[in-house]
Structure 1
Amino acid sequence: MDTNSLCFGTCAKCTGGVYGAAQGCQAMGQVYHDSCFTCCVCGQKLKGKAFYEFSGQVFCEEDYLYSSVKHFAEVCTSCGYLITDMVLQALGKSFHPDCFRCFICNEKLEGQPFSVDTQNKIYCVKDYHRILAQTCAICEQLILPTKGSNEIVRVMSMGKSYHVTCYEGKSYI
């Protein structure tokens, strides 16, 4: 059977039938005629080339990166560069996954628990507790989460911080 006579689907742009593998391409889960899969700005054919979809329109790489479209695209809060693939959203901001890192140790925090200080600096939990943990007024050790937890439990009294066990063991009579 001649593959040029087979219908591979309906073109997502013009709704005409796409006959023959040489006449069409598949992108974004849809079928297009080669002549229909083009940049919405310059009209360049995009089969086999890098392209970007934004707000339902398809752009060649040059028009996406260097035209006014980039003003609507996500910009990484950390490095300031345009995010052209995966966006990590945290704290109401956008990041490249590789740019979302601990302020102290530079560990990647994608998919990891993290904490933020009063100046919105991002920390891995370990560094946050190590740098910002309070010191117990009785034993003078850092008040850190118990093993297996990320939560700090402390007693505040008279402007000082205490481990629960240190505070309970102190007599106030």
Structure 2
Amino acid sequence: MPDLICALCEKVIEGQVLTALEKTYHPNCFVCTECKKPITGGLFQIKDDKPYCQDDYAQLFAPKCYACNKPITDRIINALGHTWHQDHFICALCKVPIVGQNFIERDGRAVCQKCFEEKIADKCKACGKPVVDKIIVALDAKWHADCFKCKKCDKPITQQMFQVEDGFPICAVCATKSSE
């Protein structure tokens, strides 16, 4: 049987042999490409057929979190054109993590649905609740489609023509009755 030669120091290996990347090494010769320290415990990463310890691989090649600028070695959140640790992708207002929730981008920052509705969204002139879906803009205000109704008969205004009384719409039928 031929002698085993270490791929790093090119000396004959006597005693323990470490096999990795289809080569043989003395255990202390199998080192990280970056820090040159022996890779122990069998955990390493490969980049361009070169071994790296876990820490150096993360520092050199893992995506960085936009919030803390540290490597992301577990679940990566891609949002707002950046990568984040899942605990660092938080609502800009309440600071609660928003992974798995709907959010709204506001000035380049994420805002959770709850904060958006409570603190940012326009409020309906009729009911005062946030308007986040279909919206009607009329009379210098925003309205839910279901809330934009006649002040007198309470029916939805579906025609483009309507009258105004005290800042609220009146349908053409009620406006005609009032003028008679």
- Residue aligning to 1:46: 39
- Residue aligning to 1:58: 51
**TM-score, normalisation: structure 2:** 0.59
Measured in 1, the distance between the counterparts of 2:148 and 2:96 equals 35
Measured in 2, the distance between the counterparts of 1:74 and 1:87 equals 8
Q: Residues 92-148 of structure 1, C-alpha deviation per residue, up to 9 Å, x if partnerless?
A: 20101110111222222222222211x122122111111111112233x12345xxx
CA contact (8 A) 2:46 2:52 kept: yes
Q: Which amino acid counterpart does residue 44 of structure 1 have in structure 2?
A: K
Q: Which has the higher helix share?
A: 1
CA contact (8 A) 2:34 2:52 kept: yes
Measured in 2, the distance between the counterparts of 1:37 and 1:103 equals 46
Measured in 1, the distance between the counterparts of 2:103 and 2:147 equals 28
Match for residue 91 of structure 1 among 63, 77, 80: 80
CA pair 92-161 structure 1, distance change in 2 beyond 3 A: same
- Residue aligning to 2:130: 143
Measured in 1, the distance between the counterparts of 2:79 and 2:64 equals 13
CA contact (8 A) 1:25 1:47 kept: no
Measured in 2, the distance between the counterparts of 1:32 and 1:86 equals 32
CA pair 60-122 structure 1, distance change in 2 beyond 3 A: same
Q: Which amino acid counterpart does residue 80 of structure 1 have in structure 2?
A: N
Superposed, 1:11-160 pairs within 5 Å as 23-24=17-18, 35=26, 38-48=31-41, 51-54=44-47, 57-61=50-54, 63-64=56-57, 69=60, 73-117=62-106, 119-139=107-127, 141-144=128-131, 152-160=133-141
Q: Determine helix, strand or coil for the equivalent of 1:85.
A: coil
Q: Which amino acid counterpart does residue 125 of structure 1 have in structure 2?
A: Q
What are the ranges of 5 or more consecutive residues in structure 1 without an aligned counterpart?
1-12, 14-21, 146-151
Structure with greater Cα Rg: 2
Name the count of aligned residue pairs. 139
**TM-score, normalisation: structure 1:** 0.61
Q: Which amino acid counterpart does residue 47 of structure 1 have in structure 2?
A: T
Q: Determine helix, strand or coil for the equivalent of 2:146.
A: helix
What are the ranges of 5 or more consecutive residues in structure 2 without an aligned counterpart?
1-6, 8-15, 150-155, 157-168, 173-180
Q: Residues 13-59 of structure 1, C-alpha deviation per residue, up to 9 Å, x if partnerless?
A: 9xxxxxxxx74578xxx887565853123443323166455566432
- Residue aligning to 1:7: none
